[in-house]
Amino acid sequence: MSSKITAPRGTQDLIPPDSARWQELEARIHALAQRFGYGEIRTPLFEATELFVRGVGETTDIVEKEMYTFTDKGGRSMTLRPEWTAPVMRAMLEHSLLAQGPQRLYYIGPIFRYERPQQGRYRQSHQFGVECTGYEAPEADAEVMSVAWELVQSYGLRDAALKVNSIGDDVCRPRYREALLAHFRPNIALLSSDAQRRIERNPLRLLDSKEERDAPYVASAPRIEEFLCDACREHFAALRADLDLLGIAYTIDPRIVRGLDYYTRTVFEIQSSALGAQNAVCGGGRYDGLVRSLGGPDTPAVGFALGIERFLTMVETAGATPARKRDGVQAIALGAQARATLLPVAAEIRRLGVPAFMDYEERKLLAHLKIADRNGARFALIIGSEELTAGQAVLRDLTSRTDRRLALEEPRVLAAAVVEAQAV
């Protein structure tokens, strides 16, 4: 006896009816991105490991411990995509898009991170994100935030909160870094082991520590606000003014720093109390230094990534899932001759753009109606021996439970009559 094979830890199968919720969300995302002028990009599931080491940063959780890295048969080190921004920038460089002026791209698809699976944290998860390149102006930052915010709003998710911060740039961040080091160093022995490990390489990351031991030292840490240079301060002020103009409610949160090394100035998150410990559904910001670190020209860029699984948890918690509407026609044939009559009618109904379902077993009418329910059919088109003799079919409205009779015409004509009847 061989043991059962299950899906790998931290991965999920997506099956009906849940897959319909995903499709609905994806359809909304495609329409939303289009309204903002973003075009879709799809990149390979795996890339050269070097891309992520350079493009995400060696001191990040992702590169330090979360990558699915393997050596292919040609001896090359490859990594399953743990995030999209580096691959998108790689592709933009490769196709010389950046030389053609500002660009707007979006993506939807899986990411892979070797994490400890728990609520809201998986080894394969999915992200929707956008990247807007070529604009230094804070209007671009406000634009990408409003893409994410519109999606949240379209589901009426009231417990979502937008938190923004500025983490400065190469001019002012080094001074802040020094101030943080001076603050944390005297207490280093009291900090969590993660914090101790990170402090020298990336002290900003201590600010988003979730360890209780670190909390008091994080709370009393100096704030970036006082360290921002004039240019960063102005950029942040202008961004806030733009968000006000757009009517987007936000709060400033000095603890939002984002885990990735390549951020400059703007950083933001959308958080929700519906998510528990993993409370961020969306993270983003500006990363003006990334393209250059990948060997490209200096390119201002801003974007976000939003977790689809966490977003759908929010939708579900808010009860914002649209009720499944009954739709389509269950073609119910009682007997072989009726089945031969209905088969082409069902085909014609589908050609007219209306769903049609059919069961191919010999069953009682009641059993067929149960199947119609399971399929969510709005109507049943029923033919038994009586109907065949009378030259009629019964069209039953499964919501109002009323019947009407349609003449048994050739498939096209009958299908058209069914479609017309169900349209009202």
Residues in contact with ligand ATP by the rule CB under 6 A: 83, 113, 115, 120-122, 125, 127, 259, 278, 280-283, 305, 307, 309-310
Q: Which is nearer to ligand ATP, 87 or 411 (CB)?
A: 87
Q: Which is nearer to ligand ATP, 104 or 113 (CB)?
A: 113
Q: Which is nearer to ligand ATP, 54 or 378 (CB)?
A: 54
The neighbour count for residue 410, using CB atoms within 10 Å, is 10
How far lies 214's CA from each of 142, 198, 373, in Å? 32, 12, 55
Smallest gap, in angstroms, from Cβ of residue 93 to ligand ATP? 21
Q: Which is nearer to ligand ATP, 85 or 375 (CB)?
A: 85
Smallest gap, in angstroms, from Cβ of residue 48 to ligand ATP? 20
Q: Which is nearer to ligand ATP, 290 or 395 (CB)?
A: 290
Residues 69-77: contacts with CB under 8 Å, at least 24 apart: 76/48, 77/48, 77/49, 77/50
Q: Which is nearer to ligand ATP, 122 or 149 (CB)?
A: 122
Beta bridge partners of 392: 407
Smallest gap, in angstroms, from Cβ of residue 114 to ligand ATP? 9
Q: What is the largest CA-CA distance in the chain?
A: 94
Q: Which is nearer to ligand ATP, 109 or 120 (CB)?
A: 120
Smallest gap, in angstroms, from Cβ of residue 107 to ligand ATP? 12
Smallest gap, in angstroms, from Cβ of residue 363 to ligand ATP? 43
Would you list the DSSP string of 106-150? EEEEEEE-----BTTB-SEEEEEEEEEES--SHHHHHHHHHHHHH
Smallest gap, in angstroms, from Cβ of residue 306 to ligand ATP? 6
d(CA 391, CA 15) in angstroms, rounded, equals 40
Which parts of 258-328 are beta strand (E)? 264-272, 280-286, 301-307
Smallest gap, in angstroms, from Cβ of residue 121 to ligand ATP? 4
- Please give the residue whose beta carbon sits closest to ligand ATP in the complex: 307
d(CA 51, CA 226) in angstroms, rounded, equals 34
- The DSSP H or E segment spanning 360 is none
Smallest gap, in angstroms, from Cβ of residue 307 to ligand ATP? 2
Smallest gap, in angstroms, from Cβ of residue 124 to ligand ATP? 8
How far lies 199's CA from each of 36, 182, 207, 363, 374, in Å? 40, 10, 10, 70, 57
Q: Nearest to residue 315, comparing CAs of 10, 114, 29? A: 29
Q: Which is nearer to ligand ATP, 121 or 339 (CB)?
A: 121
Q: Which is nearer to ligand ATP, 218 or 281 (CB)?
A: 281
Q: Is there a contact between 316 and 309 (Cβ–Cβ < 8 Å)? A: no
Q: Is there a contact between 358 and 343 (Cβ–Cβ < 8 Å)? A: yes
Tell me 372's DSSP state: H
d(CA 133, CA 103) in angstroms, rounded, equals 5
Smallest gap, in angstroms, from Cβ of residue 36 to ligand ATP? 19
Enter the tokens of residue 201.
Answer: 């390489």
How far lies 191's CA from each of 211, 217, 245, 332, 369, in Å? 9, 8, 42, 69, 64
Q: Which is nearer to ligand ATP, 280 or 302 (CB)?
A: 280
